[in-house]
Structure 1
């Protein structure tokens, strides 16, 4: 899923940076936050899909389940972009996004499998 959605976003990030009039540091911050944030959002979405796979109208419930989990990723990514635009270091924000990625990559398969087991019983 991430290869189809996340990688094209990262590839098109220089064009987006040009359209947003970002300098090199802004583009670098955008590319790094996309690189760390989009797989995290995909992993979190997989957990939500595992919970709603058997429901007929699970789209609304999926949004309600995944959105609160996605908010911290969006907050830290936007804070990194803001810091980069002001010339401040973004290492802390990227470290937190990386920790979220590692945590979601580690725990998401187990949570998704458990959600599928519960849903399909």
Structure 2
């Protein structure tokens, strides 16, 4: 499982880096990539100020739990699960953590 977990880490990092590059930064709002490989926690957050208002929010939050990718939060329109599948992670190894546990069993994706 370690080599598979390492493969998943690399896929997650690559996809999040692509999102960060696509979203970019401007003078007021920054997109920050948070990679915690020790705890297998990966986030893309937005911070800054715009027109006098504080901007802060988690765009994406993924965890690796027991060899599966758990999507804790997905703030994308298309869904990061589609990107993970396209990159080679099977649906049986992707948990839609942002969906209620009783609903997950009706999706094509994994449950805990």
Give me the TM-score of the superposition, normalised by structure 2.
Answer: 0.35
Higher strand share: 2
Give me the TM-score of the superposition, normalised by structure 1.
Answer: 0.33
The structure number with the bigger radius of gyration is 1
Higher helix share: 1
